[in-house]
C-alpha cells in the first residue's frame, strides 16, 4: 500500500491540480491521469521485484544464503523513504 502513495500523489497533481509552464496551465484528463498513476504503481512494484531478485542472487557474494523473502524485505525497507518522499 505504501508503494501507491506516489502514484496517488501523481494522480492528484496531474489530473486535478495540473502543471504550470511559461504562463500556460496544463491539466491531464482524469482517465489519462488515472492510467498514468496505475502504470507508475505497477512499474514501481516490478522494479521492487527485480531489485529483490538481484539482491537475492548477490547474497552468496557477501557470505550469506539465498533467501528471496529476506531480500524482498530488505529492499522494501530500503525503498520506504523514497515512497514517502514521492508525495512531494
Q: Domain map of the chain by residue range?
A: 4-85
Give this prediction's pTM: 0.79
Q: What's the number of CA atoms in the CB half-sphere (13 Å) around residue 64?
A: 12
pLDDT, one tens digit per residue, over 54-87 is: 999 998 898 888 889 999 999 999 988 988 888 8
Count CB-CB contacts under 10 A for residue 9. Answer: 15
Q: CB–CB of 15/30 below 8 Å?
A: yes
% of the chain surpassing 70 pLDDT: 100
Q: Which residues of 16-48 are buried (b: 16+ CB within 10 A; e: fewer)?
A: eeeeeeeeeeeebeeeebeebbeebbeebeeeb
pLDDT bin (cut points 50, 70, 90) of residue 27 is confident
Amino acid at each position: 500500500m505504501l508503494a501507491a502513495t506516489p502514484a496517488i500523489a501523481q494522480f492528484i497533481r496531474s489530473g486535478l491540480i495540473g502543471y504550470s509552464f511559461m504562463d500556460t496551465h496544463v491539466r491531464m484528463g482524469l482517465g489519462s491521469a488515472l492510467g498514468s498513476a496505475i502504470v507508475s504503481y505497477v512499474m514501481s512494484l516490478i522494479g521492487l521485484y527485480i531489485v529483490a531478485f538481484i539482491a537475492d542472487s548477490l547474497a552468496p557474494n557477501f557470505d550469506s544464503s539465498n533467501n528471496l523473502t529476506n531480500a524482498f524485505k530488505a529492499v522494501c525497507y530500503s525503498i520506504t523513504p523514497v515512497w514517502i518522499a514521492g508525495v512531494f
